[in-house]
Amino acid sequence: MSSLATTVEPQQESAALSRARYRVTGWRVLRSEWAKLWSLRSTWITLVLGLLFLLVFGLIAAWQFESGGLDEDFDRSTAVDLSLFGVPFAQLALGVLGVLVTAGEYSTGMIRSTLAAVPRRLPVLWSKAGLYGLVALGVGTVGAFVAYLVGNEILSGTEAAQSLSDAGVARSLLGAGLYLGLIGVIGAGLGALLRSVAGGISVLVGALILVPGLTSLLPGSWEDNVSPYLPSAAGESMFALTHDASTLSPGAGLAVFLGWTLLVLAGAAYRLRRNDV
C-alpha cells in the first residue's frame, strides 16, 4: 500500500504540471480588471459626469466672470482659477466611481469570483487602483485643459485671461489632473478598505468636504498647523496657481497627498490580505 502511494504521487505531480496550460500573471490581472472596468455602464456614466462637471462648472464660472455676474471675491480671479471651478464637483464623481470599482465587488458578491481566480489577492488591488487612477488622471487632465482652453477664450480681453505659457498655468492644470487621478486611487482604496459602497462614499465625502470645515473648531494655532496637511488642502495646493504662508507649495502638497493615498492603499492591502470574504 505504501509503495503504491509513493509511486503514484510523483506521477500526479508531473501530470498536474504538464496540464498547466494557463497561468495567472500580473499583466493578465491588469487586462481582466481593464475589461471589468469598461463592461459596466456605471463606469461610462460616472466618467462622463465627472468630465461634464469639470467643463460645465468651469465654463459657467468663466462666463459669469466675463459678464460681471460674480461678486467681488472673484475680482482677482485668473483663467486657471475659474476654469478649475468644477474640480470639487468632479472629484466627487471620480472618487465615488473609485469606491464603486472596489466596494461594488463586495456589495454584489463579485469579489468571490475575482479572488477565486486570483487567490493571491493583492494583484487585484494594485490593478484596480492603478488602472482606475490612470483613467481618472486622463479624464481629469483632459477636462482641466479643455475647460481652461475654452474658458480662456471666453475670458480673452478681461484681466483674468492667461497664456498657457504663463508661470504656473500648465503646472496647475496638470496638478488638477493628477489630483483627480489620485482621488480615484483613494476612492478605490477606501472601497477596498471598508468593503461597503455607502461607507466608502461617506468617508470620502467626509474627508474631502466635512473635515476641512471641522478644523475651524480647533484652537487657532492648531488649525494653522493641521489644516494645510488635510487631504483637501494638500490636494488643492497641487493645482492652485498661487500659494501663501498658510498653504503648502505644489511639490509639498503633492507629497502630502501621495502620503494620504499610500496610507489608504496600505490599509486596503492589509485588510484584503487578512480578512475573509
Partner 1 sequence: MIEAQLLTKRYGEKTAVDGLDFTVKPGTVTGFLGPNGAGKSTTMRMIVGLDAPTSGSVTVNGRHYAEHRAPLQEVGALLEAKSIHPGRSAYNHLNALALTHGIPRSRVDEVIDLAGLGSVAKRRAGAFSLGMGQRLGIAAALLGDPQTVMLDEPVNGLDPEGVLWIRNLLTSLAAEGRTVFVSSHLMSEMALVADHLIIVGRGRLLADTTVQDLVRQAGGDTVKVATEDPARLRDVLAGPGVDIVGQVGSEELHVTGLTTREIGLKAAEHGIPLFGLSARTVSLEEAFMDLTRDAVEYHGTTTAIDTLGRVA
Q: d(Cα 195, Cα 197) in Å, to the nearest integer?
A: 7
In angstroms, what is the minimal distance from the CB of 189 to partner 1?
A: 20
Binding map of partner 1 across residues 21-60, x = CB under 8 A, - = no contact: xxxxx--xx-xxx-xx--xxxx------------------
Q: Does 277 bind partner 1 (CB under 8 A)?
A: yes
In angstroms, what is the minimal distance from the CB of 127 to partner 1?
A: 10
* First and final C-alpha spacing in the chain: 40
Q: Does 105 bind partner 1 (CB under 8 A)?
A: yes
User: Using CB under 8 A, which of 50, 98, 104, 250 touches partner 1?
Assistant: 104
Number of residues that bind partner 1 (CB under 8 A): 38
Q: Does 110 bind partner 1 (CB under 8 A)?
A: yes
Helix (H, G, I), strand (E, B) or coil at 251: helix
In angstroms, what is the minimal distance from the CB of 247 to partner 1?
A: 41
Classify residue 77 as exposed, middle or buried by CB count within 10 Å of its CB (0-12, 13-18, 19+). Answer: buried
CA distances from 217 to 153, 160, 224, 231, 235 (A): 42, 35, 12, 18, 21
User: Using CB under 8 A, which of 2, 7, 11, 12 touches partner 1?
Assistant: 12
| E strand spans, the chain | none
Binding map of partner 1 across residues 60-99, x = CB under 8 A, - = no contact: ----------------------------------------
In angstroms, what is the minimal distance from the CB of 151 to partner 1?
A: 35
Q: d(Cα 272, Cα 277) in Å, to the nearest integer?
A: 9
The count of residues in the chain is 277
In angstroms, what is the minimal distance from the CB of 23 to partner 1?
A: 5
Q: Does 11 bind partner 1 (CB under 8 A)?
A: no
Q: d(Cα 193, Cα 195) in Å, to the nearest integer?
A: 6
In angstroms, what is the minimal distance from the CB of 277 to partner 1?
A: 5
Q: d(Cα 203, Cα 267) in Å, to the nearest integer?
A: 14
Q: d(Cα 153, Cα 7) in Å, to the nearest integer?
A: 80
Q: What is the DSSP letter of 166?
A: S
Q: Does 249 bind partner 1 (CB under 8 A)?
A: no
User: Using CB under 8 A, which of 44, 48, 112, 156 touches partner 1?
Assistant: 112
Residue the block writes with cell 497561468: 23
Q: Do 151 and 56 form a contact (C-beta atoms < 8 A)?
A: no
Q: Which residues bind partner 1 (CB under 8 A)?
A: 9, 12-13, 16, 19-25, 28-29, 31-33, 35-36, 39-42, 104-105, 108-113, 115-120, 276-277
